[in-house]
Every structure is written in structure tokens, then in C-alpha cells.
């Protein structure tokens, strides 16, 4: 039964670990037997001895110390990772409280630091307060997003209406101009007293029918 488990587990090994155990298999073909190839506990010990963490607690503590919640994320992802690491360390309440606060983004830390009841000193109180602030923050963000969207839609609707009104007005003006009949020719005598061309009127007195013209005709008769 152990051999089946070991062979199945080895199919998931990659990289250096895979190369290491393949060496053991090759040695077995050469008559050099490895006890861990047939004993599950020995196989696990071999795996940890060569590829396990030398200081698993220290590694987890380091990961928790460097854990940070991204400003654009919600707090749930941070909480899952924090709880996963904290459960392996057995740290005290005050240490976890401080470490949890250090990993929060500024938009959660700032309200906590000026909280009217004072900054929490226990992990559970810090956790609860951070969750509350996170909820209010994203609730307000959702409201602002909807307000911006409504304002954008209102502006777009107003622009569309203005565009339609301009197009309709231009079409109406063009239609009215097209339907207007041409102006009738003027029948006003340009040589009347009210004529704006007095010089032209005076000149006509020397033309056909004028005094000079009539005098010329009389001279021709007398000849």
C-alpha cells in the first residue's frame, strides 16, 4: 500500500525534487535499494529533509510580517491570508492586533487611529472595526460610482437633445427659405422727385425729348 502512495505522490513532483527521486529509482534498477521507496513515513522524511523548510515557523512568521492588504482590494482576501498564517504561529492577542493593523491600507488605518473610542488593543476588536470601516468605505464608493454614472448619462442626454434641436431648427430655416417666393420687380420711377439719382434725372433733360433736343429739331425746320 505504501508503494502505491509513494508512486502516486512522485507523479506530482517537479524540478529538483523530481530529479532527486528519479536518481533513487535508477539506483534501485542497479540493485541499490532505498528504504523510502517502500515506506511512506520514510518517504515523507526524505522529502522534508531535502526539500522542506528548514524553519517552517520562521517562514510563516516572515510571510505574516510582510503581508499587506492592497488599497484596491476588499478586506476579505487579507483576512483569509492573515488567519491562515496566524493559525500556525500561536502568537498572543496583542501581537496579532498590532500585526493586523500594520498590514491594513491607509484608508482603514486613518479612521482607526482617530476612532472616538480609542484605537483597539485586542485583535478581535481591531478585526471588527476594520471590517466595519471597510464595509462603509465600499458602500460609499458604490454610491459615488452610481452618482457619477447618473451625471454622465444626464450630460449625454442633454447633449443629444441639443443636437436634435439644432438639427431641427436648421432644417426648418432651410425649408422656410425654400418656400419664400422671389421678390417682385420694383415699379418705382427712378426719375421721380424722390429718386435717389438726381444727377441722372438732370442728364435726361439733355437727352431725347429734352430742351436741347427740341431746340435742335426747331433749327433743322428753320433751315
Q: Does 217 reside within a domain?
A: no
Residue among 68, 131, 126, 63 at smallest CA distance from 95: 126
The total number of structural domains that make up the chain: 2
81 and 62 in a single domain? The answer is: yes
Among 52, 69, 88, residue at a domain's last position: 52
Q: Rounded CA gap, 187 and 197, in Å?
A: 16
Model confidence pLDDT, tens digit, residues 91-107? 999 999 999 999 999 99
DSSP string of 9-69, one letter each residue: HHTT--HHHHHHHHHHHHHHHTT---GGGT-HHHHHHHHHHHHS-SSHHHHHHHHHHT---
pTM of this structure: 0.49
Model confidence pLDDT, tens digit, residues 177-219? 666 666 656 555 554 555 554 554 455 554 455 554 455 555 4
Report yes or no: 38 and 3 within 8 Å, Cβ to Cβ.
yes
* Domain hosting residue 34, numbered range: 2-52
Q: Does 202 reside within a domain?
A: no
39 and 77 in a single domain? The answer is: no
14 and 28 in a single domain? The answer is: yes
71 and 134 in a single domain? The answer is: yes
Amino acid at each position: 500500500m505504501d508503494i502505491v502512495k509513494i508512486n502516486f505522490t512522485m507523479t506530482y513532483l517537479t524540478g529538483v525534487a523530481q530529479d532527486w527521486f528519479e536518481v533513487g529509482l535508477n539506483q534501485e534498477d542497479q540493485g541499490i535499494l532505498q528504504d523510502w521507496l517502500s515506506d511512506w513515513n520514510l518517504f515523507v522524511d526524505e522529502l522534508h529533509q531535502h526539500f522542506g523548510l528548514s524553519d517552517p515557523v520562521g517562514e510563516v512568521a516572515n510571510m505574516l510580517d510582510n503581508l499587506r492588504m492592497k488599497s484596491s482590494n476588499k478586506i476579505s482576501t487579507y483576512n483569509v491570508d492573515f488567519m491562515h498564517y496566524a493559525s500556525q504561529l500561536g502568537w498572543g492577542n496583542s501581537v496579532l492586533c498590532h500585526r493586523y493593523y500594520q498590514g491594513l491600507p491607509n484608508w482603514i488605518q486613518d479612521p482607526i487611529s482617530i476612532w472616538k473610542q480609542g484605537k483597539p488593543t485586542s485583535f478581535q476588536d481591531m478585526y471588527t472595526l476594520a471590517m466595519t470601516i471597510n464595509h462603509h468605505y465600499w458602500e460609499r464608493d458604490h454610491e459615488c460610482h452610481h452618482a457619477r454614472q447618473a451625471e454622465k448619462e444626464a450630460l449625454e442626454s442633454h447633449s443629444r437633445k441639443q443636437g436634435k434641436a439644432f438639427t431641427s431648427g436648421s432644417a426648418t430655416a432651410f425649408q422656410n427659405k425654400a418656400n419664400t417666393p422671389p421678390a417682385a420687380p420694383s415699379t418705382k420711377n427712378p426719375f421721380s422727385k424722390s429718386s435717389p439719382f438726381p444727377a441722372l434725372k438732370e442728364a435726361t433733360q439733355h437727352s431725347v425729348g429734352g430742351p436741347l433736343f427740341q431746340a435742335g429739331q426747331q433749327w433743322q425746320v428753320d433751315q
